[in-house]
């Protein structure tokens, strides 16, 4: 999805069309249901796009997973928290996570099984929570990172993360 002047260009070129707010929200909900991660430039000044990505088709996501390079993303301020009392260990969250940030750990008995969150690689996208059939996952705010002021600052932040 593109917004502003890029949207006009896409429509004028015949490679896209305008959608209503309701249609946009429906598209985003469907993308979530399919396990796609919403990515954007994450700047205060304006939003130019929202990508709905997976590791199969997105070069950025697939490279991050393949090379274990998580600093390319500005993590959201949230991490998933699993309510063990509600969780039925269906593994839907494990299967839908593009980053392999959730792991199923078998215990000696089914009651001892757990779903673990690897916060070091989780970007806090919430796909696990929105796809949990038991509503056993909620997102907990753990930080307060401010987005970049503009696109140039966002790229600089990304490049700084790449040089760690």
Q: Domains plus CATH for the chain?
A: 1-70 (no CATH), 75-144 (3.30.70.20)
- Cβ pair 136, 82 in contact under 8 A: yes
How high is the pLDDT of residue 161? 62
Distances (CA, A) of 137 to 31, 49, 78, 114, 127: 19, 28, 12, 13, 10
How high is the pLDDT of residue 77? 92
How high is the pLDDT of residue 102? 96
- Dihedrals phi, psi of 26, to nearest 5 degrees: -65, -40
Name the token pair of 72: 């390319």
Stated pTM of the model? 0.84
Distances (CA, A) of 111 to 6, 93, 114, 132: 52, 18, 8, 19
Distance CA 89, CA 7 (A): 42
Distance CA 164, CA 88 (A): 39
CA 27 and chain centroid, separation: 15
How high is the pLDDT of residue 70? 77
How high is the pLDDT of residue 163? 47
Alpha helix (H) residue ranges in 102-143: 127-130
| Structural element, H or E, at residue 115 | strand 114-117
Q: What is the mean pLDDT of each run of 10 residues along the chain (164 residues)?
A: 91 96 96 93 81 90 86 86 94 95 91 91 94 97 88 79 52
How high is the pLDDT of residue 147? 84
How high is the pLDDT of residue 111? 80
Sign of CA dihedral 40, 98, 66, 58: negative
- Cβ pair 122, 70 in contact under 8 A: no
């Amino acid at each position: 999805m593109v917004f502003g002047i890029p949207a006009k260009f896409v429509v004028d070129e015949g490679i896209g069309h305008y959608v209503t707010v309701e249609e946009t929200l429906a598209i985003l909900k469907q993308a979530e249901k399919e396990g796609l991660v919403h990515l954007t430039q994450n700047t205060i000044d304006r939003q130019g796009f929202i990508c709905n990505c997976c590791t199969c088709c997105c070069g950025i996501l697939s490279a991050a997973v393949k090379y274990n390079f998580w600093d390319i993303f500005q993590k959201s301020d949230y991490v998933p928290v699993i309510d063990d009392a509600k969780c039925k260990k269906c593994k839907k969250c494990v299967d839908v996570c593009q980053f392999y940030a959730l792991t199923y750990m078998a215990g000696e008995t089914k009651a001892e099984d757990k779903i673990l969150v690897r916060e070091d690689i989780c970007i806090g996208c919430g796909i696990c929570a929105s796809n949990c059939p038991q509503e056993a996952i909620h997102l907990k705010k753990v930080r307060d990172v401010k987005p970049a002021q503009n696109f140039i600052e966002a790229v600089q932040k990304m490049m700084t993360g790449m040089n760690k």
